[in-house]
Amino acid sequence: MPITALLDADLFPKTVTHKLEIVPHSGWWANTRLTLGVWTPVRRSLSGKSQEESDAIYNDLRQVAGLTKNGCVDAYESDETFFESLYLKPPGLRGTPFEMFRGVERKRVRSPLRRTYLIESSFSDEDAKFLQKQHKDRWNQLLENIQHPRFLKMKKRTGGHHLADLYHVWTAEENSLDCFITLDTTFLNAVTLWKPKPLDTPVRILTPRQFLQWISATRRA
């Protein structure tokens, strides 16, 4: 059986390894040597990361994508992770061979609370910028007002912080998924370290690197 994993929205802006930059290229035309600026794919460095750190993240995500493509992992998104992704600045060169998750099927799971979304065909990046703060404020207010016993217990563990990510974990629980994969190490540390104890959940909360290490250890067992 494939391993099932809910993918955090923060993964997808980091799944494109290159960006376009104008790079000088020299050549001969007749008897004259010319240097022209040409749009060229160059290695992309992630914000706040060195190129080495960025390449390590790319390598991990490439392996996760490969496991999904060969059927070892079923990747999922929820209504909320999908909606969050609309507000994230998409990298260029999506849909090209530089996008590691190109062609990866993401199945949909239902969130514990039902919400209705209406996305018009005219929705644009400008609309996303305008609506981002408005939606975030409303969503945070909704999260703070959830009175379900399970979510209240999860909120107590983090002191009321990281509510959106806790909701994703709750979604994974409700759909009996194995893992929640995220690059948000602040959230991961908040729920996995003994302060005073890890979050009590059957869902493994892992970075892509930890996810790969877990799969490797599972195969050896």
Task: Say which CATH number the domain at 115 has.
Answer: 3.40.50
- The answer to the question of residue 194 being in a domain is yes
The mean of the pLDDT values for the chain is 87
Under 8 Å between Cβ of 185 and 207: yes
The pLDDT, as a whole number, for residue 17 is 94
User: What pTM was computed for the model?
Assistant: 0.86
Which residue is associated with the tokens 């644009």?
A: 124
> Which comes out higher in pLDDT, residue 155 or 125?
155
The pLDDT, as a whole number, for residue 127 is 56
- The answer to the question of residue 22 being in a domain is no
> Which comes out higher in pLDDT, residue 127 or 4?
4
Looking at the structure of the chain, the number of domains it has is 1
Write the pLDDT tens digit of every residue in 157-210: 888 899 999 999 999 999 999 999 999 999 999 998 766 678 999 999 999 999
- The answer to the question of residue 175 being in a domain is yes
Q: Which domain holds residue 81?
A: 3-14+45-220
Instruction: Name, in order, each residue with C-beta under 8 angstroms of 27's C-beta and a sequence gap of 6 or more.
Output: 33, 34, 36
CB atoms within 10 A of CB 52: 8
The pLDDT, as a whole number, for residue 108 is 94
